[in-house]
Amino acid sequence: MAALDVYMNGYRVGAVDFARESMESILTEFAQSMGTVVMNVRNQLPAGFPATIRDAIQARARRLTAGWE
């Protein structure tokens, strides 16, 4: 296997001597599960949890996984 450079949202996320297909599979699985994970956590937040923080976390999660669904 050759060295690999993988970029996600402009950031290098590659691993040396790791199959590109394997890395893409991991990142795709991560992206596909992110929405469920965020909603599970969101549903566990206390009633008074600040909406601005809750919404910012959800928005950031969407940006991190954009293009990997």
In degrees, to the nearest 5, what angle opens at C-alpha 7 toward C-alphas 33 and 67?
45
Residues in the chain: 69
pLDDT for the residue numbered 51: 94
pLDDT for the residue numbered 44: 95
pTM for this prediction: 0.58
pLDDT for the residue numbered 30: 86
SS3 50: coil
Q: Residue 7 phi/psi, 5° resolution?
A: -120, 140
49: pLDDT confidence band, cut at 50, 70 and 90? Answer: very high
Q: How far is residue 30 CA from its own chain's centroid?
A: 6
